[in-house]
Structure 1
């Protein structure tokens, strides 16, 4: 399965989710490759930091910030159970290529008013990609949610009847994500079974239940 994390808006946590989703699947014994399609190269920086710390490599990280991504990703997918694409903000050509490569598009959004998450440009690109790949699935993911906030609940309720719909698993605004990233770690590698790790495990399980991908039944 090829999963692309995309949003025209920066700062919504795409890289954090991409790394930790890849890490969770790798922890389960899956063969995983993460494609860093963001020209900023944050996932590649994380991988380098991990190497400097002498930590074991859980999954491969490949830089492919170019609009031929949709032609190159399938080759990588032949030797992987999961490909995770960390997409770029506001680079239309790259985003189109990532959309064409994907089986599933995850759109991370933070609890915010309607115009904060419903990017007309993002949804237009998604509709355009479905002309070429009508089976392309997409879901919103509520990320960086404050615990039990009214805004998070209202955003989830607003997205419930939206197309694309929102996944049931929400990811909290947690210090553990930043603490792990600073040392090239994943939240699943932190001591004490932090809530962040349980949320990522729940998110991967929900994605798996969608039954998507080229090898899915």
Structure 2
């Protein structure tokens, strides 16, 4: 399975989510390749921090911010891995477009802010283009960096806005703004490895992963 976590809108927490998913799957015993397709290289830096700390399991990571290179490398090496997670986006790039054509699943994190919701329209157009080239891309939208309260008008309105875009399936598993995610990524850790543990952050990540991979097995 190839999963891309991407959005043309920056600041939605896609790198955090991609890194957390990749490490969590590696901890679950899966053979995972994380590809950093963002020029900033934040995901690759988090993997380096993990390697320097000697944490196990380690995780393989490559930095391919160029679309043609990303496409060629994934096509050549996809058979070596059980799962590939691509961190792409922050803008409309050749890497994001290449990732969409290569992927089985797209996860689009968006924050409960008007500009983030509007950016879903841009992603919807890219999804249509990718599907015109390759059938089978499944796209999910998930509310990320959601307001901490269990009930929030902003969160609910943002979720309802996804319904305007038939290209997406909305995952009702919001991930809220929690220091645990930033702290874990900075240390190259999954939130489940962080001490002290944030049980809510762990549960939110597990819910997203369970939804994604359970859906794909059906």
TM-score by length of 1: 0.90
Provide, for residues 161-203 of structure 1, a one-character-per-residue CA deviation record: whole Å limited to 9, x for no partner. 6321211111011010111122221101013352111111111
CA distance in 2, matches of 1:67, 1:159: 28
Alpha carbons of structure 1 residues 41 and 210: separation in structure 2 relative to 1, 3 Å: same
Shift of 1:128: 0.7
Indicate conservation of the 8 Å contact 1:71/1:101, yes or no: no
Indicate conservation of the 8 Å contact 1:6/1:95, yes or no: yes
Q: Which runs of 5+ in 1 are unaligned?
A: none
Question: Which of 171, 188, 195 is matched with 2:200 structurally?
Answer: 195
Name 1:139's counterpart in structure 2: 140
Aligned length: 212
Indicate conservation of the 8 Å contact 1:34/1:85, yes or no: yes
Shift of 1:31: 0.8
Shift of 1:75: 3.1
CA distance in 1, matches of 2:174, 2:75: 29
Are 1:45 and 2:45 counterparts?
A: yes
Name 1:156's counterpart in structure 2: 159
Provide, for residues 70-129 of structure 1, a one-character-per-residue CA deviation record: whole Å limited to 9, x for no partner. 33213332121210000032143221111111111111100122x532323322211111
Question: After superposition, where does 1:85-96 map in structure 2 within 5 Å?
Answer: 85-96=86-97
Are 1:26 and 2:30 counterparts?
A: no
CA distance in 1, matches of 2:19, 2:4: 12
Deviates more, 1:160-169 or 1:101-110: 160-169
CA distance in 2, matches of 1:177, 1:23: 12
Question: Which of 193, 206, 211 is matched with 1:206 structurally?
Answer: 211
Root-mean-square deviation (Å): 1.7
Deviates more, 1:163-172 or 1:189-198: 189-198
Indicate conservation of the 8 Å contact 2:34/2:60, yes or no: yes
SS of 2:49's partner is helix
Provide, for residues 20-63 of structure 1, a one-character-per-residue CA deviation record: whole Å limited to 9, x for no partner. 11111112111111000011100111111222223224321111
CA distance in 2, matches of 1:30, 1:74: 20
Deviates more, 1:91-100 or 1:137-146: 91-100
CA distance in 2, matches of 1:139, 1:43: 21
Name 2:184's counterpart in structure 1: 180
TM-score by length of 2: 0.90
Alpha carbons of structure 1 residues 48 and 88: separation in structure 2 relative to 1, 3 Å: same
Deviates more, 1:157-166 or 1:138-147: 157-166
